[in-house]
């Protein structure tokens, strides 16, 4: 009788082990699917590029910036972000084609290895910034 209970115990251990293996396999599979979804969502945007809208009431005009061109003095409003986020370029987007008026939209290009989410939070904390958006893949790189 003792051998029978030992056999039952072995069978029980095999069943439990296989159940855990199936559960782990399903969990890894769902993580893999979730990971690919995240990657696809992230890849829907140009890495290292953001568009900001400056609040219209502030009458702030940001000068064009290119990291290859030396600046005299500190860059206004965004100067503290130049090095930490590796900003490469800041430029005002073209005038609104319908009205011909200049808009308060600026494109910021920065180091792709830096956290886009951290940079967005930092920009949203500025008084002059009304909105920050990622640049969609279907938008041309400017």
Q: What is the pLDDT of residues 55-103, one digit of tens each?
A: 987 778 888 999 998 877 788 999 999 999 999 999 998 776 676 676 7
Residues 123 and 77 grouped into a single domain: yes
For residue 52, which phi and psi values (nearest 5 degrees)? Answer: -120, 150
What is the pairing mode between strands 45-54 and 65-66?
A: unpaired
**Judgement on whether residues 96 and 38 belong to the same structural domain of the protein:** no
Specify if 141 maps to a domain. no
Q: Are residues 66 and 9 in the same domain?
A: no
98 and 109 co-located in one domain: yes
Tell me, yes or no, whether 115 and 64 share the same domain.
Answer: yes
Tell me: do 121 and 64 sit in the same domain: yes
Question: How far separated are the first and last CA of the chain, in Å rounded?
Answer: 80
What is the CATH classification number for the domain harbouring 109? 3.30.70
Number of domains in the chain: 2
In a domain, 81, yes or no: yes
Confidence of residue 114 (pLDDT cuts 50, 70, 90): very high
The domain in which residue 84 lies consists of 46-136
Rounded distance between C-alpha atoms, residue 138 and residue 142, angstroms: 12
Q: How far apart are CA 27 and CA 96, in angstroms?
A: 49
The pLDDT score that the predictor gives to residue 22 is 44
Q: Which ranges in the chain belong to alpha helices (H)?
A: 2-42, 116-124
50 and 39: one domain?
no
- Do both 62 and 118 map to the same domain? yes
Q: What is the pLDDT of residues 12-64, one digit of tens each?
A: 444 444 444 444 444 444 444 444 444 555 569 999 999 999 998 777 888 89
Instruction: Kindly state whether residues 52 and 30 are assigned to the same domain.
Output: no
């Amino acid at each position: 009788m003792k051998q029978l209970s030992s056999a039952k115990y072995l069978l029980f251990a095999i069943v439990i082990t296989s159940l855990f293996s199936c559960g782990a396999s399903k969990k890894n599979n769902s993580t893999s699917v979730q990971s690919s979804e995240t990657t696809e969502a992230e890849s829907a945007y140009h890495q290292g590029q953001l568009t900001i809208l400056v609040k219209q009431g502030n009458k702030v005009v940001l000068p064009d910036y290119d990291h290859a061109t030396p600046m005299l003095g500190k860059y206004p409003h965004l100067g503290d972000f130049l090095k930490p986020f590796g900003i490469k370029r800041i430029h005002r987007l073209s005038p609104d084609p319908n009205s011909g008026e200049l808009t308060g939209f600026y494109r910021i290009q920065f180091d792709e290895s830096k956290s886009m989410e951290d940079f967005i939070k930092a920009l949203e904390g500025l008084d002059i910034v009304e909105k920050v958006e990622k640049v969609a893949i279907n938008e041309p790189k400017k």
